[in-house]
Amino acid sequence: MIDDFINRKQGKTKVSYELPQLKDILEETLRRHLVPGTGDANCQSPGEFFARRGGHPSPRHGQEEKGRMAAQRAKFMTGCAANKIPEKKAERIFNLMEEFAGYGFNKSHSCAYALLAYQTAFLKTHYPVEFMARC
């Protein structure tokens, strides 16, 4: 996912959308499901998707997680059929959302993590002895 995002950001890969309705939701992340958005284009918002499947995406839920995802897939496919979205396209979109759900973060978490990583790198570079002594 990250490599796809970087390639799209640098213009090496063309950004396209499975459905025109997804552009508003995914444009900021260059079509990658890096940040849950809101909206009706996915037949339910990604926020609703995560809330209904038990909250924050985490790979640790095991069998319980598989059951939740199966229920979400059924709901998603029903909503897409009602919105006349072709089944194969709906499957592809859900699979992308499911991949994101395996290990994804919301925007605020990603920004906080990036800031912490930057500050840590700065301290390690400019104050290595103090940094390593503190670790």
The whole-number average pLDDT for the span 5-27 is 82
Q: Is the pLDDT of residue 13 over 80?
A: yes
Q: What per-residue confidence (pLDDT) applies to 69?
A: 81
The full set of domain ranges for the chain reads 2-104, 108-135
Q: What per-residue confidence (pLDDT) applies to 68?
A: 79
Q: Mind listing the pLDDT tens digit for each residue in 55-77? A: 444 444 445 566 778 888 999 99
Question: What does the DSSP assignment read for 53-94?
Answer: TTSS--TT-HHHHHHHHHHHHHHHHHHHHHTT--HHHHHHHH
Q: Given pLDDT bands bounded at 50, 70 and 90, which one contains residue 84? A: very high
Give the type of residue at 94.
Answer: F
Percent of the chain with pLDDT over 70: 66
* Residues 46-65 as b or e (16 or more Cβ within 10 Å = b): beebbeebeeebeeebeeeb
The whole-number average pLDDT for the span 2-19 is 83
